[in-house]
Chains A and B, each alone.
Chain A
Amino acid sequence: MKPEHWETFKKAARLEKMPQVPVALIIDSPWIPGYLGIKHLDYFLNPEVWFQANLAIHREFPEIIFVPSWWMEYGMAAEPSALGGKIKFWQDNTPSEYPMLFRIEDMDSLPEYDVEADAFMALTLHRIRMQRQRILDTGEILPIVTSRGPMCTASFVRGTTEFMMDLVEKPEWAHKLLDLCTRLVIDWLKAQARAMGPTVGGIFVLDDIVGFVNEEHYEEFAHPCLKRICDAFPKDWVKIYHNDANIDACVEHLPDAGFNVLNWGKQTDIAEVKARIGGRLCLMGNVNPLEVGVRGTPAEVRAATLDVLEKSCGENIILSVGGGVSPGMPRENIRAMLDALNEFNTSRAHA
């Protein structure tokens, strides 16, 4: 992400009037290796392959704001790995994470976490420090720190199904586990900010598991944790939230938690999200990533993009797909999305 990209993103996040609708995509290890024809393990473990891959993509699409810029990640492995999750790596796929907390009560016996030294967190931080100057030298910056959210992390550690039942059956333990995960997330984000340096001014929290609970559970379990995370960072930092499961029960609460930008899934039409929350959150979405983004023709991508843009009226929106970029989204469909945006922006400028 170039400094001017970040300025644009921040303006949009603050709901300022934008002369042009910007475009941002979350790209990460589910998509990049396949797009460039490299192996996942090489992408994760060979710093040169990782650097060149990200450079190639930033150069190919200079108009796109990539969130969170250059992302040092091991799929979703970092957070659960610090709390004892088992991680399995694949040659051609993102890693799998296995819960190991078979009895929630055993969380009391977990060794104290240490974000600077634990498992894939330590390795990620080291990669940030190794690559940072090289990235800055390309004219890009690292403005955003990133973490899976507390519900997602708790589900990784405990198992999603088990954790969902804990919410009902062992609420006091569920709160305890969430408290642990919230502290971990905050410390993890802060550690990344230290490693990245003064260009950081935003947090990005991904938590789909929030989308599986009703509003009452959201308010009791998820909201206080999300708010604690947002409150732990300066007021003027941009706070981005991703959830491409169901946002029906939580969407109205997200601004109160402290978020400025929402990246959500294909299930909820932008017209509905805008009606419910459009004046209080910047909407980053939501062209259907798989059925249209991967499987659609460029003409279908164009139509879907224009549909999203028109429903947004060009206000409080950053064009994106509904979620992360899906593995297999081809070049011509990304181009079709960008062309449709140009078309929209041009006709708006003339209006």
Chain B
Amino acid sequence: MPDYALMNQCLYEGKAREVEQMTRDALAGGCSVREVLLEGLIAGMSVVGEDFKHNVLYVPEVLIAARAMKAGMTVLKPLLGPGGDTNSTGRLLIGTVRGDLHDIGKNLVCMMAEGAGFQVKDIGVDQSVEKFLAAADEFKPDVVGMSALLTTTMSYMKVVVDGFEQRGKTGIKLAIGGAPTSQAFADEIGADGYGADASGAVDLFLSLLEKKNAPAQ
């Protein structure tokens, strides 16, 4: 049985090489991919998320921990079933909307989502509805996340929501976040949900997935 507590600790400290090696060793020792993912990587990353929330960790430490997590994931990914990701929690496409270049919060959301087992495609900042739609065609996400930090750019989220709506029933769930947004704003523009912080975002994505996968009434 691998020392998952130690693996979590290495991940927490951002020791990418150690995490990668421990992931390999755990697999070689006969552990299942799922167990290593859950107990070795995801468990470590959730402590990182908690400590960030409480000002124990700051942005650089979170980024470095997330990279260690990624190092472990590169070992697991090819083994996660045919296509590489059928066992993943879900697929998240995310970006900051047009005119807005704030991305610290979005990047943290990406990391926590990856930490929770999502396949994440981050299209970066200043993204138009066309870019969101094109990326969705290619990546086939379950959830599309939009971030905005400016009151002047949050209205663009509605443009993206409308863009997806005009596509007709794609089944894709739309999530929003960023300091000036709120659940009320999500309701107003017809988004499927709002997340207040990185862990709230992950809970939101999970609940949206459940809704998406629930059999139609």
Pair A212/B60 contact, Cβ less than 8 Å: yes
A168 within 8 A of B: yes
Q: Which residues of A contact B150 (CB under 8 A)?
A: 30, 93, 327
Chain B: minimal CB distance from A292 (Å): 13
Pair B179/A217 contact, Cβ less than 8 Å: no
Pair B59/A212 contact, Cβ less than 8 Å: yes
> Contact partner of B58 among A98, A214, A326, A327, CB < 8 A?
A214
A278 within 8 A of B: no
B67 within 8 A of A: yes
Pair A165/B99 contact, Cβ less than 8 Å: no
Contact with B along A221-256 (1 / 0, CB 8 A): 000000000000000000000000010110000000
With A93-B152, A327-B151 already in contact, the answer to whether A88 and B126 are too (CB < 8 A) is: yes
> Contact partner of A165 among B60, B125, B179, CB < 8 A?
B60
Pair A328/B151 contact, Cβ less than 8 Å: yes
With A96-B99, A290-B179 already in contact, the answer to whether A165 and B64 are too (CB < 8 A) is: yes
Chain A: minimal CB distance from B178 (Å): 11
Chain A: minimal CB distance from B19 (Å): 15
Instruction: Give the complex CA separation of A213 and B150 in angstroms.
Output: 23
Chain B: minimal CB distance from A33 (Å): 10
Q: Which residues of B contact A249 (CB under 8 A)?
A: 55, 58
Pair B153/A93 contact, Cβ less than 8 Å: yes
With A92-B152, A96-B126, A290-B151 already in contact, the answer to whether A213 and B179 are too (CB < 8 A) is: no
> Contact partner of B60 among A98, A164, A246, CB < 8 A?
A164
Chain A: minimal CB distance from B131 (Å): 14
B197 within 8 A of A: no
Closest to A166 in B: B60
Q: Which residues of A contact B151 (CB under 8 A)?
A: 290, 294, 326-328
A49 within 8 A of B: no
> Contact partner of A217 among B14, B58, B103, CB < 8 A?
B58
Compute the total of residue contacts between A and B using a CB distance below 8 Å.
64
Pair B126/A34 contact, Cβ less than 8 Å: no
Closest to B180 in A: A290
A283-338 interface (Cβ within 8 A of B): 290, 294, 326-328
Pair A165/B63 contact, Cβ less than 8 Å: yes
**Interface size band for A:** 20 to 34
B28 within 8 A of A: no
Contact with A along B132-157 (1 / 0, CB 8 A): 00000000000000000011110000
Instruction: Give the complex CA separation of A98 and B180 in angstroms.
Output: 22
Pair B63/A164 contact, Cβ less than 8 Å: yes
Instruction: Give the complex CA separation of A164 and B111 in angstroms.
Output: 15
Contact with A along B48-68 (1 / 0, CB 8 A): 000000010111110110010
Instruction: Give the complex CA separation of A246 and B59 in angstroms.
Output: 11
Chain B: minimal CB distance from A159 (Å): 9
Chain B: minimal CB distance from A268 (Å): 11
Pair B67/A165 contact, Cβ less than 8 Å: yes
With A92-B152, A168-B64 already in contact, the answer to whether A213 and B59 are too (CB < 8 A) is: yes
Q: Which residues of B contact A169 (CB under 8 A)?
A: 64
With A93-B99, A96-B126, A248-B55 already in contact, the answer to whether A217 and B60 are too (CB < 8 A) is: yes
Q: Which residues of B contact A88 (CB under 8 A)?
A: 126
Contact with A along B85-100 (1 / 0, CB 8 A): 0000000000000011
Q: Which residues of B contact A73 (CB under 8 A)?
A: none
> Contact partner of A161 among B14, B63, B153, CB < 8 A?
B63
Q: Which residues of B contact A167 (CB under 8 A)?
A: 60
Residue positions of A touching B, CB distance < 8 A: 30, 34, 88, 90, 92-93, 96-98, 160-161, 164-165, 167-169, 212-214, 217, 246, 248-249, 290, 294, 326-328
Nearest 10 CB-CB pairs, A to B? A212-B59, A214-B58, A164-B60, A96-B101, A93-B99, A167-B60, A164-B59, A168-B60, A168-B64, A93-B152
**Other A-B pairs beyond A34-B152, A328-B151, 8, CB < 8 Å:** A96-B101, A161-B63, A161-B104, A164-B63, A213-B58, A246-B58, A248-B55, A290-B151
